[in-house]
Amino acid sequence: MSDRLTKLTKLHQADPRDPFLTYGIALEHGKLGAYDEAITWLDRTLEADAKYCYAYFQKAKMLEGKGDSAAAVQVLKHGIAAAQKAGDGHAAEEMTGLMETIEQ
């Protein structure tokens, strides 16, 4: 476990519903190649805050890393809709670009 992951985990114990912490933990797992664990933490992020648009983006990247392009595209479709609903055009644009890359 990385030092950063250890620190984030300790912070998470104090505030388990903080989406910033769950997102950070997910990214650290992703850096370690632990995609399933990262996806679990990204799901927790979205449970805590469905408008945390970049969690959809990162979840799609983790799924793509596992070789599950179809699931990645589905996550991106949900993420684009969530971003549009939240008024986050930049996130929607980023997810659209990733989806187009995956679909090629």
pLDDT of residue 80: 97
Q: Which amino acid is at 98?
A: L
Summarize pLDDT for 92-101 with one digit per residue, the tens: 999 999 999 9
- 47-89 pLDDT per residue, tens: 999 999 999 999 999 999 999 999 999 999 999 999 999 999 9
CA–CA separation, 80 vs 92, rounded Å? 5
pLDDT higher than 80, residue 1: no
Structure token digits, residue 82: 């969530």
Which residues, in sequence order, are CB contacts of 102 under 8 Å at separation 6+?
60, 64, 69, 72, 73, 76
